[in-house]
Amino acid sequence: MRVEGRVEKVADDESDAYYASRPLGSRLGAWASEQSREVPGRDVLEQRESEYRAKFGENPPRPAHWGGYRLVPTAVEFWQGRPSRLHDRIAYRVEADGAWKIVRLSP
């Protein structure tokens, strides 16, 4: 599957609402985890989570670094392999009038 389109940062109020809807452990994890950075061990994450739980209790605010992005698709393609070389490729594309057009592509 492939998706093409424009990516936009969502507004702070939308990020706030989504953050508030998440389970407490996930909200605390947003504070405890420096996403994708190396960490010496799980115990470090658990210690950080414990510290933020003590600091914020049941209502941690959304961290400033935490927010959302939205993909506004203009094209989506599905590829399904077949035993022969005649794979299925179905593409959905947004036309100028905003309607989606469905086409079959050669493999």
Q: What angle do CA 42, 44, 48 make, to 5 degrees?
A: 120
The string of pLDDT tens digits covering residues 10-25 is 999 999 999 999 999 9
Q: In what order do the strands lie in the sheet with 88-94?
A: 2-9, 69-80, 88-94, 100-105
Dist CA 84 CA 97 (whole Å): 37
Rounded Cα distance between 29 and 31, Å, is 5
Please state, rounded to an integer, the average pLDDT across all residues of the chain: 96
Q: What is this structure's pTM?
A: 0.71
Give tens-digit pLDDT for 25-56. Answer: 999 999 999 999 999 999 999 999 999 999 99
